[in-house]
Structure 1
Amino acid sequence: MIIVTVFVLKPVLDHVTKEIIAQKQEVARLKSVVDQHPFYKYNGLWTRELQNLVASIELCAWLGGLQEHKGPNSASFMTIEDVGKFLEIPVNLKEEDAFHLTIEEYLLALIAMVEELSRLAVNSVTLGDYNRPMQIGSFIKELFAGFQLLNLKNDILRKRSDGIKYSVKKVEDVVYDLSLRNLVPKGGPSA
């Protein structure tokens, strides 16, 4: 069944990559307009859409797409610098009032990606891919551990990052059910 999942996934990733490239061009147009105005006065107008785009980029990269755009140290997801380089926009500007990808937008995009990966874990099992939930579980546990190291204020980022634990539990439940049914070898990839 894993072979079937790969054949189904490749065309989807190819299509998603084309759409992401189209959105990259729209970001370039947005940047050209925004650079003429105060960034923080208007960034609320596009921040959610930019987060969704970054989440799509991250998910596509994690699933194996966008390989030519990942940095040399990016094992399973793109760093904020990799995403900035891909979108051809600066990241986390402090002294300049210009269009850029903020750390908050990037972190919120990672949280959205985790939520989608937890859904993918459940759907992978229905397609017969029993190893993917274990890969997802391992990855999102590492991300959750990273988020716990951050000293977040009591804002939207803190509230959304607290939700990662529910995604971790959801994937752990899937992996637990798989192990109870002996569908994954003991001491497999997640061990």
Structure 2
Amino acid sequence: MESGLLQYAKDFHQLCSEIEPTDYTKYEHIWNRSLQTFIYLNLLSNYLSHDDIIDYSTIKLMINNDNHLYDYLFALMQLVSELTRLTVNTVILNEFDRPKRISAFIKDVYQALSQLNFKNDALRRKFDALKYDINKPTYPLSGPGSELNEQHPANNSTSTYFFSANFYNSQDILPAFFDQFLQLSDYLGRDNVYISIYESNSHDNTKDLLHHFDDALTRLSIPHTVITDDSTQKPFFVGNERINYLASVRNLTLAPLTRQLDERFNHFDKIVFLNDVFYDWFSVVRLLNTRNGAYDQVCAFDYFKIGLYDTWVTRDTCSRRTKVVWPYYQDAHSIDLLRRGEPIPVNSCWNGITAFDASWFVDRSGDSDPIRFRVLDECVTSECLLSSYDIHRKSHKQPEIYMNPLVPTAYEKPVFQLRSRLFNLSLARPYLTYRYWFEERLFGWLTALGRKEEECAAWLDEWKTGNCTYE
């Protein structure tokens, strides 16, 4: 397209040099439409490349003529209309940050155009039509991306969130992690989030990166605690000694979660734990808005090369471990929800990112026993599983715990790109067909043979299984 635009500009220069000014005015209606298209394409190309606008003075130099402000304004309004349509395509491609930028850009352009006094002609009618484009929602009202829309019922600017993260030798993942969290905090509101980070034993560049992130959070006035320990040697533990160590470092991130901090944030709505994973900020919003926020706990899906990663923690509604490969679950109801991309009830999960109703972790009465990470003395099991299990123990009804299949995370960037990007494209359809017929229908029974049994079942006997189905 660039070569075509350059050729048009060259030809237009030649036209302007060879035609008399009076004849130019007389016959300009012949090339006005093509000139408007030329200006519009330059504006669109520049915006897609730089998120910026070409001013009229630059356009004058490009066409070597000073008499086409009308055509410039017409092309600018056409750009605004086109960008509102572009937001739909960007959402389909999972580019959820671009609609925000487009919305801010077209509102700025509209505000500038509003200062002009248009005559009652085609340009005026074009401007009047822009108000319908301006009032379109930034994100769709239904379908993918709808949970990001300000009109979504779960979005509430007064909601507050406590984020917790632990890191060890995470230098490869931290730049992307920081970038996504800052976009997430901008969306949720910087005054509505608190992040607590504890790093331990890293011997790569993790500590330095966290110090820089600490400074960035301070500059942006995002409430936070970032602690890096002095050790670069990870202690060697096995069995419950290892679980006890992991539980202790997770609990250190919860140390700032006092009643005073909770009251300062007008009582946190959700407590969110972030592992050292690749994720998208809008996926976290989608996770928080699962079932319009009505849950005790909700988890993402974390993947590795073969399939589902965190099967050691995940338990279905019958307290059975999931399997690594598709369709992960045993019962038909869960598999059907998985295919439809809807939240799946489980008894426990973690999966890279998980959000809890804050009431489980905050002592608001002064005499309650908030959940903290711990070990099971009689058997080796994950401290993360026990956080879900303790909800079962403390609850008088079936806990509302779900996994959201629309929220992918991964510890490796290629795996994350595969699950979050490529699986949404049409080129992935042959694989999805293969997965349905071979991994699920024909050989699902075979992949289930490797499913591990619960080793600590005798000591984990307080699961509530009211939603259990063996179908």
* Same fold by TM-score greater than 0.5: yes
Cα distance, 1:37 vs structure 2: 4.8
- Quickly say closer, same or farther: Cα 1:38–1:53, change in 2 above 3 A: same
Counterpart contact for 2:46–2:53, Cα < 8 Å = yes
Give yes or no for the alignment of 1:34 onto 2:4: no
Give yes or no for the alignment of 1:122 onto 2:98: no
Question: Pick from 81, 84, 93: which aligns with 2:60?
Answer: 84
Give yes or no for the alignment of 1:52 onto 2:37: yes
Count of paired positions: 156
Equivalent runs, 1:120-159 vs 2, <5 Å:
120-159=86-125
Structure-1 residue corresponding to 2:134: 168
- The code of the aligned residue for 2:28 comes to N
- Quickly say closer, same or farther: Cα 1:124–1:115, change in 2 above 3 A: same
Structure-1 residue corresponding to 2:48: 63
Counterpart-to-counterpart distance in 1, 2:140 and 2:20:
46
User: Comparing both structures, which one devotes a greater share of its residues to helix?
Assistant: 1
- The code of the aligned residue for 1:43 comes to E
- The code of the aligned residue for 2:44 comes to L
User: Comparing both structures, which one devotes a greater share of its residues to strand?
Assistant: 2
State the superposition RMSD in angstroms. Answer: 2.8
Counterpart contact for 2:81–2:130, Cα < 8 Å = yes
- The code of the aligned residue for 1:45 comes to I
Counterpart-to-counterpart distance in 1, 2:112 and 2:119:
16
Cα distance, 1:91 vs structure 2: 1.7
Identity of aligned residues (%): 28
Counterpart-to-counterpart distance in 2, 1:174 and 1:142:
21
Counterpart-to-counterpart distance in 2, 1:165 and 1:36:
37
- The code of the aligned residue for 2:96 comes to Y
Of 18-27 and 118-127, the range deviating more from structure 2: 18-27
Cα distance, 1:160 vs structure 2: 0.3
Q: Which structure: larger Rg? A: 2
Cα distance, 1:110 vs structure 2: 0.2
Counterpart-to-counterpart distance in 2, 1:23 and 1:170:
34
Counterpart contact for 1:58–1:77, Cα < 8 Å = yes
- The code of the aligned residue for 2:61 comes to K
Counterpart contact for 1:121–1:171, Cα < 8 Å = no
Higher relative contact order (Cα pairs below 8 Å, separated by 6+ residues): 1
Name the SS for the 1:149 alignment partner: coil
Structure-2 residue corresponding to 1:11: none
Counterpart contact for 2:47–2:53, Cα < 8 Å = yes
- The code of the aligned residue for 2:92 comes to T
Structure-2 residue corresponding to 1:187: 186
Counterpart-to-counterpart distance in 2, 1:30 and 1:170:
41
Counterpart contact for 1:61–1:76, Cα < 8 Å = yes
- Quickly say closer, same or farther: Cα 1:34–1:83, change in 2 above 3 A: same
TM-score by length of 1: 0.71
Name the SS for the 1:185 alignment partner: helix
Cα distance, 1:22 vs structure 2: 2.0
- Residues 78-124 of structure 1, C-alpha deviation per residue, up to 9 Å, x if partnerless? 1110112233x1223xxxxxxxxx21111001011111111111111
Counterpart contact for 1:133–1:174, Cα < 8 Å = no
Counterpart contact for 1:122–1:174, Cα < 8 Å = yes
- Quickly say closer, same or farther: Cα 1:82–1:76, change in 2 above 3 A: same
Counterpart contact for 1:111–1:164, Cα < 8 Å = yes
Counterpart-to-counterpart distance in 2, 1:55 and 1:41:
23
Counterpart-to-counterpart distance in 2, 1:54 and 1:35:
23
Counterpart contact for 1:136–1:171, Cα < 8 Å = no
Name the SS for the 1:151 alignment partner: coil
Name the SS for the 1:77 alignment partner: coil
Name the SS for the 2:187 alignment partner: coil
Counterpart-to-counterpart distance in 2, 1:50 and 1:188:
39
